[in-house]
Amino acid sequence: MSNKLQSIRGMHDILPADTAAWQRLEAVLMRLMASYGYQEIRTPVLERTELFARSIGDVTDIVEKEMYTFEDRNGDSLSLRPEGTAGCVRAGIEHGLLHNQTVRLWYIGTMYRHERPQKGRYREFRQIGVEAFGMAGPDIDAELIMMTARLWSMLGLKNVRLEINSLGSGEERSAYRRALTGFFGQHKDRLDEDSLKRLDKNPLRILDSKNPELKPLIAAAPAFSEFMGAESRAHFDGLRRLLDQAGIVHEVNPRLVRGLDYYNLTVFEWITGDLGAQGTVCAGGRYDGLVEQLGGSPTPAIGFAIGLERLSALIGQQNSGPSELAPDIYVLNATAAGEGAGLVLAEELRNAMPERSIVYHCGSAGLKNQLKRADRSGAHLAVIIGDEELAAGEVTIKPLRGQEQRRIGRSELVKALQSYFE
Ligand code: ATP
Ligand code: MG
- The pLDDT tens digits of the residues spanning 404-414 come to 999 999 999 99
Is ligand 1 within 6 A of the CB of residue 205? Answer: no
Contacts of 193 (CB under 8 A, 6+ apart): none
d(CA 206, CA 214) in angstroms, rounded, equals 9
Rounded mean pLDDT of 381-397?
93
Residue 278 near ligand 1, beta carbon < 6 Å? yes
Residues 365/371, Cβ–Cβ less than 8 Å: no
Helix 413-420 × helix 340-352 angle, to 10°? 70
- Mean pLDDT in the chain? 92
Counting from 1 in the atom list of ligand 1, the atom nearest the Cα of 281 is 20
pLDDT of residue 241: 96
Q: What is the mean pLDDT of residues 38-42?
A: 97
Query: From the CB of 114, is ligand 1 less than 6 Å away?
Result: no
Find the range with the poorest average confidence among 124-133, 242-251, 336-345, 366-375.
Answer: 336-345
Under 8 Å CB-to-CB from 311, ≥6 apart: which residues?
25, 155, 281, 282
pLDDT at 323 over 60: no
Q: Which atom of ligand 1 is nearest to the CA of 61?
A: 7
* pLDDT tier, 402 (very low <50, low <70, confident <90, very high otherwise): confident
pLDDT of residue 249: 96
How far, in Å, from the CA of 307 to the mean position of ligand 1? Answer: 6
Atom number, ligand 1, closest to the C-alpha of residue 269: 18
Is 327 a residue whose pLDDT tops 90? Answer: no
Distance CA 267, CA 235 (A): 12
Question: What is the percent of the chain with per-residue pLDDT over 70, rounded to a whole number?
Answer: 98
Residue 170's nearest CA partner among 102, 231, 223 is 231
Q: What is the separation, in whole angstroms, between the first and last Cα of the chain? A: 62
At 325 the pLDDT is 59
| Lowest pLDDT segment from 92-96, 142-146, 360-364 | 360-364
CA of 278 to the centre of ligand 2 (A): 10
Distance from the CA of 259 to the center of ligand 2, in angstroms? 7
Residue 2, pLDDT > 70, answer: no
Q: Indicate which ligand has the atom closest to the C-alpha of 129.
A: 1
Determine if ligand 1 sits within 6 Å of the CB of residue 309.
yes
Whether the CB of 138 sits within 6 Å of ligand 1? no
At 14 the pLDDT is 96
Separation of alpha carbons 416 and 408, rounded Å: 8
Nearest CA to ligand 1 atom 23: 307
Residue range 269-292: average pLDDT? 95
Strand 406-409 with 394-399, pairing: antiparallel
- The confidence score (pLDDT) of residue 209 equals 85
Q: Supply the residue whose CA is at minimum distance from atom 6 of ligand 1.
A: 259
Measure the CA–CA gap between 350 and 368, rounded to whole angstroms: 24
Read off the pLDDT of residues 250-280 as tens digits, 9 standing for 90 and up.
999 988 988 677 889 999 999 999 998 889 9
Q: How confident is the model at residue 1 (pLDDT cuts 50, 70, 90)?
A: low
Band of pLDDT at residue 338, cut at 50, 70 and 90? confident
Question: Which residues, in sequence order, are bridge partners of residue 407?
Answer: 396
How far apart CA 257 and CA 264 sit, in angstroms, is 10
Fill in the DSSP letter of residue 121.
B
pLDDT for residue 322: 58
- Assess whether pLDDT exceeds 70 at residue 218: yes
Q: How far is CA 373 from CA 7, 17, 159, 369, 420, in A?
A: 32, 15, 37, 6, 20
Determine the distance separating the centroid of ligand 1 and the alpha carbon of 416, expressed in angstroms.
50
Q: What is the pLDDT of residue 60?
A: 81
- How far is residue 256's CA from residue 258's CA, in Å, rounded to a whole number? 7
Ligand at minimal distance from the CA of 306 is 1
Q: Is the CB of 130 under 6 A from ligand 1?
A: no
Q: Is 97 helix (H, G, I), strand (E, B) or coil?
A: coil
pTM score: 0.81
Task: Establish whether residue 275 lines the binding site of ligand 1, counting it when its CB lies within 6 angstroms of any ligand atom.
Answer: no
